[in-house]
């Protein structure tokens, strides 16, 4: 009797052990594998900076070397998001001075069989990116007078990626995300007693990165942007608002009397990768008369040559 009871006890323990092992195998979580990805922006940088000239310096690996006198792209930003919440998984910032050895080369490791979104930005200056919440914003600078600091040259792209595609390395071409506004005052330098300023209203102080890439609206257009003076007659700055209209106010003010001559141009539109030129004369006293009202076409190789030209 004792022997039978002992046999039943042993059999029950074996059955319990087998059942436990079977359940463990059935409910074991799937182990996700890591998948390496890489982004190579070196070709984009070289094209943007026109370093494919036959006289450009070559490095030992055959790639075109960086010439400090031809620098343009100085900062690269990599943002990896996990949809649908667009949670920011990875943020990386490369600067040419601190990351010169691998500038433009980005590596990351992600879980396989997952969908992600990559934002890439490249600029000739540091970009102020707000990295909390969704969407992620780019903010313009504000100077001591409370006025906008113009956006610098800025390129961007958005890449949806699934980590089992095997298409590595990614070699994206970023597109210019800003337009350029140029104002040419034909008689601006002909009377030294008059100072010229060009104010623009309607520019954005902040824009979502996704909106920036898709070409939709920004927010916070509440301050004045003063175009930078590049010569006695020419004023120019980059513009982030490439979807709405701008108002351009050109003012000529006498240094001593305070007398002002002002012209306002409404409905000015800028486009991505294009320069909008506003050209005309103010009628400044003492300046040689100018009857020119022709459109002025200014072609810069860094911009689309199909400029948008407006007379005033």
The residues, any chain, with a CB within 8 Å of residue 40's CB and separated by 6 or more, are: 104, 105, 169, 170, 171
- pTM of the shown model: 0.75
Q: Rounded mean pLDDT of 223-243?
A: 90
Q: How confident is the model at residue 297 (pLDDT cuts 50, 70, 90)?
A: very low
Domain boundary among 176, 211, 240: 176
Same domain? 193 vs 172: no
Are 295 and 184 within one domain?
yes
- Asked, for residue 6, whether it belongs to a domain, the answer is no
CA distances from 204 to 33, 222, 268, 309 (A): 43, 8, 14, 22
Query: Domain range holding 210?
Result: 179-311
Q: Do 38 and 160 belong together in one domain?
A: yes
- Helix (H) / strand (E) containing 98: none
Query: Coil, strand, or helix at residue 80?
Result: strand
| CATH number of the structural domain spanning residue 279 | 2.60.40
Whether residue 70 is predicted with pLDDT greater than 50 in this model: the reply is no
Q: Is 29 left (phi over 0), alpha (psi -120 to 50) or beta?
A: beta
Q: Is 214 in the same domain as 300?
A: yes
Answer whether residue 22 is part of any domain. Answer: no
Does pLDDT of 64 surpass 70? no
**Are the beta carbons of 246 and 150 closer than 8 angstroms?**
no
Q: What is the pLDDT of residue 199?
A: 94
Each residue of 158-185: pLDDT tens digit?
999 887 766 678 889 899 999 899 999 9
Domain's final residue, options 176, 210, 233 = 176
User: What percent of the chain stands above pLDDT 70?
Assistant: 71
Q: Which of 154, 176, 198 is the last residue of a domain?
A: 176
């Amino acid at each position: 009797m004792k022997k039978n009871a002992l046999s039943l006890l042993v059999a029950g323990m074996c059955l319990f052990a087998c059942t436990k092992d079977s359940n463990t195998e059935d409910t074991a979580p799937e182990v996700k594998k890591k998948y390496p990805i890489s982004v190579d922006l070196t070709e984009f940088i070289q094209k943007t900076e026109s370093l494919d000239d036959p006289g450009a310096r070559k490095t030992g690996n055959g790639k075109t070397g960086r010439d400090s006198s031809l620098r343009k792209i100085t900062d690269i930003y990599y943002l990896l998001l996990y949809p649908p919440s667009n949670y920011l998984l990875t943020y990386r910032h490369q600067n040419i001075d601190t990351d010169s050895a691998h500038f433009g080369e980005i590596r990351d490791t992600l879980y396989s069989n997952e969908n992600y979104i990559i934002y890439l930005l490249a600029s000739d200056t540091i970009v102020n990116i707000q990295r909390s919440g969704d969407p992620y914003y780019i903010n313009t600078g504000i100077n001591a007078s409370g006025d906008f600091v113009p956006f610098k040259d800025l390129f961007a792209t958005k890449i949806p990626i699934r980590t089992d595609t095997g298409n590595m390395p990614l070699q994206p071409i970023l597109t210019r995300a800003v337009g350029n506004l140029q104002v040419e005052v034909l008689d601006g330098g002909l009377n030294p007693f008059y100072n010229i300023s060009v104010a623009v209203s309607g520019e954005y102080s902040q824009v979502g990165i996704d909106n920036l890439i898709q070409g939709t609206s920004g927010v916070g257009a509440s301050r004045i942007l003063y175009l930078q003076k590049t010569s006695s007659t020419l004023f120019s700055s980059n513009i982030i608002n490439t979807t709405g209209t701008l108002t351009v106010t050109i003012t000529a003010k006498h240094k001593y009397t305070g007398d002002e001559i002002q012209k306002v141009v409404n409905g000015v539109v800028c486009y991505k990768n294009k320069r909008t030129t506003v050209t005309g004369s103010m009628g400044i006293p003492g300046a040689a008369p100018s009857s020119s009202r022709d459109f002025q076409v200014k072609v810069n190789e860094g911009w689309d040559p199909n400029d948008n030209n407006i007379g005033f």
